[in-house]
Structure 1
Amino acid sequence: MMKFVRVGAIAAALTLSLPAFAEGNVEAGRIKANTCMGCHGIPQYDNAYPRYRVPKIGGQHRDYIVAALKEYRSGNRPHKTMQAQAASLSDQDIEDIASYLEHSAAHK
């Protein structure tokens, strides 16, 4: 009986920790997002060609960032620079970056 209680407790602990893992690691995301800030962290930044305003992504909802980066990575969302940046990102990298950016007020 005690064995089942321990297994149940471990299963419950793992289940409860899943949302935290799924949302990514904010500190790891801070480091991984350094490249993003080269464009997205510059106030009033306009890209040279093609000309467009680079959006601020700090404070953006993590689900939006995750979806956008996965779409860039797959090539389904058009933007050559973003496709190149996202191409090397793992799912965990994307989750970490999205979690950091969602909680980042410094880059809003």
Structure 2
Amino acid sequence: MIRSPNRHPLLAGCLALLASFAVQAQSPDAAGAADKGKQLAYTCQGCHGVTGYKNAYPTYSVPKITGQTQEYVVNALTAYKKGTRKHPTMQAQAQSFSDEDIAAIAAYLSSLKK
């Protein structure tokens, strides 16, 4: 006898509902994420918020991070966190952030005008 995959539609529906709750629990709402990101990105202003986008010591250009896409910020911070993108200060900063923190920072920075 061949059993139909829809033999237990109520069970399948419950599993789908639970899966959607799990996804929602992992994704903070956009406004909440941006608020948290604003707090976390405060220290970023030390280098990325200075006039002319140059750090005082050593002298080198730093990228403008306001208005970047969420994807760009997440990818960059994740690469620094994993050590695949090299810069000692950025690696130390990124390693202090959880994946949720990185997503929040990206939400905040991408909401700002360039």
| TM bracket (short chain) | 0.7 to 0.9
Count of residue pairs brought into register by the alignment: 105
Partner Cα distance (1:64, 1:77) in 2: 13
RMSD after superposition: 3.1
Q: Corresponding residue for 2:99?
A: 91
The answer as to 2:67 corresponding to 1:59 is: yes
| TM norm structure 1 | 0.75
Structure 1's unaligned 5+ residue stretches are none
Larger Rg, first or second structure (1 or 2): 2
| Closer, same or farther: CA 14–53 of 1 in aligned 2, 3 Å | same
Ranges of 4+ aligned residues in structure 1 off by more than 2 Å = 6-24, 47-51
| Closer, same or farther: CA 103–83 of 1 in aligned 2, 3 Å | same
Residues 71 and 77, structure 1, Cα contact 8 Å, conserved in 2: yes
Deviations 1:46-103 (A, max 9, x none): 1244432111111100111001101111111011110111111100000000000000
Q: Corresponding residue for 2:28?
A: 21
Partner Cα distance (2:36, 2:14) in 1: 31
Structure 2's unaligned 5+ residue stretches are 1-9
The percentage of counterpart residues that share the same residue type is 46
Partner Cα distance (1:32, 1:26) in 2: 10
Q: Which segment drifts farther, 21-30 or 36-45?
A: 21-30
Greater relative contact order, per chain length (Cα 8 Å cut-off, separation 6+): 1
